[in-house]
């Protein structure tokens, strides 16, 4: 089996840091600089794929399913994949476009319920909050402390918060049917 190696080295690292040095091995042919750059981009996406699978395994518990027949397993996997994607996408959006409106990730009743619960009020604003705000509130529902030096919330606390938000949003719909 042919194997290709791509060496990535940082020529001018920031002061007081170790230079980056990766040796990537691949079975995908690499015959040019452009192809090497493409393989490096692929590798850079690997971590995001790992996080997505973590949501599927740890959050959704996909490995705990004891479905023996493919006819039952495939719809189950499809549903959990949508849930995992939504949480993963919400996490990325909060980091890369925190000022975007939360309506990109939440339905109207979800953000209103979340706002009312978080602020302990029944009065919700006309203008929806930002993605960054609602992701922080959802993470807090999941146990995120949001201390000064804490990093951004991850998918684990968002998953736990999302489960609580589902119940809060259902209660909101029960008491605010219009």
Residue whose tokens read 């959006």: 93
Quick one: pLDDT at residue 56?
Answer: 86
Distance separating alpha carbons of residues 80 and 12, to the nearest angstrom: 43
Among candidate residues 90, 84, 31, the one with its CA nearest the CA of residue 57: 84
Task: Render pLDDT for 72-84 as a digit per residue (tens, 0 to 9).
Answer: 888 988 998 998 8
Indicate the CATH number for domain 50-175. 1.10.740.10
Task: Render pLDDT for 92-116 as a digit per residue (tens, 0 to 9).
Answer: 999 999 999 999 999 999 999 999 9
Does 59 score more than 80 pLDDT?
A: no
Please give the model's pTM, rounded to 2 decimal places.
0.77
Quick one: pLDDT at residue 102?
Answer: 97
Reduced 3-state DSSP string for the chain: CCCEEEEEECCCCCCCCCCCEEEEEECCCCCCHHHHHHHHHHHHHHHHHHHHHHHHHHHCCHHHCCCCCHHHHHHHHHHHHHHHHHHHHHHHHHHHCCCCEHHHCCCHHHHHHHHHHHHCCCCCCCCCCEHHHHHHHHHHHCCCCCCCCCCCCCHHHHHHHHHHHHHHHHHHHHHCCC
Q: Where are the domains of the chain?
A: 50-175
């Amino acid at each position: 089996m042919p194997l290709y190696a791509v060496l990535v080295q940082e020529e001018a690292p920031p002061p007081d840091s170790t230079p980056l040095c990766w040796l990537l091995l691949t079975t995908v042919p690499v015959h040019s600089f452009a192809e090497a750059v493409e393989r490096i981009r692929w590798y850079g996406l690997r971590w995001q794929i790992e996080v997505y699978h973590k949501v599927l395994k740890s959050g959704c518990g996909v490995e705990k399913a004891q479905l023996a027949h493919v006819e039952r397993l495939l719809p189950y996997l499809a549903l959990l994949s949508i849930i995992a994607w939504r949480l993963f996408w919400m996490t990325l959006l909060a980091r890369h476009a925190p000022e975007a409106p939360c309506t990109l990730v939440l339905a109207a009743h979800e953000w209103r319920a979340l706002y009312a619960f978080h602020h302990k009020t029944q009065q919700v604003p006309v203008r929806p909050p930002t993605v960054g705000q609602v992701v922080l509130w959802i993470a807090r529902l999941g146990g995120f402390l949001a201390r000064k030096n804490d990093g951004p919330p991850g998918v684990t606390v968002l998953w736990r918060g999302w489960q609580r938000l589902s119940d809060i949003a259902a209660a909101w719909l029960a008491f605010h049917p219009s």
